[in-house]
Amino acid sequence: MRILITGANGYLGQGVVNAILDNGHEVVATDFAVDHVDDRATRIVGNIFEIENPYEYFGKPDVLLHLAWRDGFVHYSNAHIDDLPNHFTFIKKMAEEGVKQIAVMGSMHEIGFFEGSINENTPCHPTTPYGIGKNALRDLTQMVCKQKNIVFQWMRGYYIVGNSKYGSSIFSKITVAAEEGKTEFPFTLGQNQYDFIDYPDFCAQVAAVAGQQKEQGIINICSGRPEKLADRVERFIKENGYKIKLQYGAFPDRPYDSKAIWGDSNKIEKIMRK
């Protein structure tokens, strides 16, 4: 298939592009810059929000894989709400012009405060602009896909573990601190439990979802099990051989974070078995 990937130069996009190419699909990759994108892809620099006929412009792809999103780790950024109409307009144009499958990256932050396992029927009560923006885009994308009888896939992401210094997660920040020779890293108590997924597994799961049409709707991109933040971070430090120690209790836990939350992995396991 020909798969258009937006946000292809970002932390998530780079690995997803590689995984989809490795699966044998043709990739059209677009972003504000494409210097980190695999050169096996057709790379197009530009602003997707400014393109009049995106489906035609990007070579009539079979699938839109929409990863583009500003300030993903800055949960209270105004960009999540300011950009929402632009995301919707772009997706709507793609649907109206002829794309047959739309897969969009979502977030477990759409759920809001919740404890336990999340599945596609878990009610959403987001509490940050990030969660609210993603939640609204999911509803709008689902509506458009239903109107046009298009395959709708909403990939709900969880906590990604990777040692790239270019991300904004705690793991990226620890990598940067270790590379700078720091020996201590300020940390919370780390008792909250989350669903952690290693970066290569995350990319493989997203690639698998976009490469098939049978499983549709909300699909968790996850490991399917909870683990204490402190345990996963300590393991990450050990796995990478970093000489850095956590300063427990230096920061308070974020009040809107759940004590234990993880994804139901039944759908993604079914896809990965094929």
Show which residues are catalytic.
Answer: 130
- The 3-state DSSP class for residue 118 equals strand
Return phi, psi of residue 254, to 5°. Answer: -70, 130
Cα three-residue angle 162-172-129, rounded to 5 degrees: 100
Provide the token pair at 19: 């995984």
Answer positive or negative: Cα dihedral of 68, 77, 141, 51. Answer: negative
Provide the token pair at 252: 């308070």
Residue where the block lists tokens 């404890």: 115
- The 3-state DSSP class for residue 63 equals strand
Distance (Å, rounded) from C-alpha 71 to C-alpha 69? 7
Could you tell me which of 170, 188, 193 has the C-alpha nearest to residue 242? Answer: 170
DSSP-derived pairing of the beta strands 2-6 and 63-66: parallel
Provide the token pair at 80: 């999540």
Distance (Å, rounded) from C-alpha 260 to C-alpha 226? 7
